[in-house]
Amino acid sequence: MQSLTVTIIGSGYVGLTTGVCLAELGHTVICSDNDESKVRLLASGGCPIYEPGLPELMRKNAQRLSYTADIADAVRRADIIFVAVGTPSTPSGAPDMSYVERVARTIALAMNSYKLVVEKSTVPVQTAEWMKRTIARYDKAGTPFDVASNPEFLREGTAVQDFLKPDRIVLGVESDRARDLLLRLYAPIDAPKVVVDIKSAELIKHASNSFLAMKISFINAVATICELTGADIDEVVQGMGYDRRIGKDFLRAGVGYGGSCFPKDVDAFIWLAGTLNYDFALLKSVRDINREQRDRFFKKIEDALWVLKGKTVAVLGIAFKANTDDIREAPALDIMRRLLDAGACVRAYDPQAMDHARAQIPQAEYCASPYEAMQGADCAVIMTEWEEIRSLDLDRAVRALAHPIVVDGRNLFDPAEMKRRGFDYRSIGRGHAR
Ligand code: UGA
């Protein structure tokens, strides 16, 4: 394979993972970011995010990786430039595209030879078109370039694996030169390469994330029906999942989806459809069900404790899912705030996310272990499916709690087994158990 020089603009979670994994494929990668302290940390061998396997790959490929805050210089040295800057939501649901626009201008002013500019950020359809126009407008020297879209499907916690062994690679291109460069870049990865036009590539990302969010809200709605009828969501999912047209994945009922992607991307797709005069009512329901799921979960805690004021609640897990320290849109934050507002005392534990949580909710008490959090508490609430919580020593937990009440937002335990051990155990969608 002929290696390429790749510059990544925006060394956040997506950019950094992409850069490090491209270095693992044998390419020379320059990770750039305008946050100088982050660049210094990276250059000194540190990793600013918790992502299993990433620090090891950074060390292994150190020869092929460099880090800089000089974005213009990084642009000049690259064959391919990935744009992986943030597109945060604005109150209307529209993504804030100002970072992407600024990067397009920077690229245009710095380019000195043909560049392939690839959008990696989750962006509304037609962003590539806008990037192309912006670069052309500021590219006074008329340097040739192409724009392409290469959406990412990485999940936090398994991002390295997802990158190196993906289900598919989507390449949205409008020239043979761009297609050939991207096929060369990804040649070492054995996965279907879906080569499509740029707008379709952008839509694939919107549609994929929204579809997965829809699966979660769908199964959470079915879980509610299970509670109302006395059926069991695990059994329902088992029976549905064998149908290959449905599949087993993303049908885990729980406290609802969180994270930096699904909530923002569902909002953005609803907004985008609205701008095209299409009312995406289905997706609005997906969002509503997700909100209600948190309300319903909070109600379960209230039902278990009756009065919350003066009660102590152990919150086990804060991250929006396991194997990450990310707490963006984490259901746990919402539940912790509601508990505190109701006058309860919150004692929280998470293996990775406590520093971030402490900065946002300083009123909670943060504990060194799940057992410390449960010591003398009136109830334990499970918010994240960490292995450490799944494998709790239940005898120790029952002794630590003042009242052995567990409200489980992730269905980690078998209701019958919990009952046998003396717990008042409440979970999601297991109607016959409660
Ligand atoms: C998601 C997508 O899965 C990735 O393909 C995509 O690349 C990424 O967004 C992105 O756009 O950057 P991520 O947010 O890291 O990845 O995490 P997921 O594993 O998808 O979980 C999202 C949320 O759904 C979590 O809160 C999780 O607990 C919840 N979830 C997931 C469920 O409640 N039930 C499930 O069955 C699966």
Which tokens is 424 given? 């008042």
Say which residue, 123 or 392, is predicted with more confidence: 392
End-to-end CA distance of the chain: 58
Whether the CB-CB separation of 353 and 319 falls below 8 Å is answered with yes
Distance CA 166, CA 187 (A): 13
pLDDT score at 91 = 83
pLDDT score at 432 = 61
- Mutation test residue for ligand 1: of 54, 168, 204, 212, the one with most atoms within 8 Å of CB: 212
Same domain, residue pair 161 and 232? no
Same domain, residue pair 370 and 428? yes
Say which residue, 125 or 54, is predicted with more confidence: 54
Residue 282 has pLDDT above 90, yes or no: yes
pTM: 0.93
| Residue 205 counted as domain residue | no
Q: How far, in Å, from the CA of 18 to the mean position of ligand 1?
A: 18
pLDDT score at 93 = 74
pLDDT score at 433 = 52
Q: How far, in Å, from the CA of 153 to the mean position of ligand 1?
A: 10
Q: How far, in Å, from the CA of 145 to the mean position of ligand 1?
A: 34
Length of the chain: 434
Q: What is the pLDDT of residues 176-203, one digit of tens each?
A: 999 999 999 999 999 999 999 999 999 9
Domain boundary among 152, 168, 194: 194
Whether the CB-CB separation of 45 and 21 falls below 8 Å is answered with no
Mean pLDDT of the chain: 95
Same domain, residue pair 240 and 365? yes
pLDDT score at 340 = 98
The residues carrying an active-site annotation are 261
Report the domain count for the chain. Answer: 2
Is 74 in a helix, a strand, or coil? helix
Distance CA 39, CA 54 (A): 16
Residue 64 has pLDDT above 60, yes or no: yes
Q: What is the pLDDT of residues 220-262, one digit of tens each?
A: 999 999 999 999 999 999 999 999 999 999 999 999 999 989 9
Q: What is the pLDDT of residues 106-138, one digit of tens each?
A: 999 999 999 999 998 777 778 888 899 999 999
Distance CA 296, CA 16 (A): 37
| Residue 200 counted as domain residue | no
Q: How far, in Å, from the CA of 262 to the mean position of ligand 1?
A: 7
Residue 349 has pLDDT above 80, yes or no: yes
Q: Which of 4, 426, 386 is nearest to 187 (CA)?
A: 4
Q: What is the pLDDT of residues 132-171, one digit of tens each?
A: 999 999 998 999 999 999 999 999 899 999 999 999 999 9
Nearest CA to ligand 1 atom 20: 155
Q: How confident is the model at residue 1 (pLDDT cuts 50, 70, 90)?
A: low
Same domain, residue pair 168 and 219? no
Is 280 in a helix, a strand, or coil? coil
Same domain, residue pair 231 and 180? no
CB distance 351 to ligand 1 below 6 Å: no
| Residue 199 counted as domain residue | no
Whether the CB-CB separation of 189 and 164 falls below 8 Å is answered with yes
- What does the pLDDT average to over 345-369? 97
Same domain, residue pair 47 and 188? yes
pLDDT score at 94 = 79
Q: What is the pLDDT of residues 78-100, one digit of tens each?
A: 999 999 998 877 888 777 888 88
CB distance 384 to ligand 1 below 6 Å: no
Q: Which of 74, 128, 147 is nearest to 106 (CA)?
A: 74
Query: At 115, phi and psi to the nearest 5?
Result: -130, 145
pLDDT score at 195 = 98
Same domain, residue pair 139 and 249? no
Same domain, residue pair 395 and 308? yes
| Residue 202 counted as domain residue | no
pLDDT score at 111 = 95
Same domain, residue pair 177 and 299? no
Q: What is the pLDDT of residues 286-326, one digit of tens each?
A: 999 999 999 999 999 999 999 999 999 999 999 999 999 99
Residues sharing a CB contact under 8 Å with residue 245, sequence separation 6 or more, in sequence order: none
CB distance 234 to ligand 1 below 6 Å: no
pLDDT score at 428 = 97
What CATH code is carried by the domain that includes residue 21?
3.40.50.720
Q: Name the residue range of residue 266's domain.
A: 211-433
pLDDT score at 99 = 86
Is 47 in a helix, a strand, or coil? coil
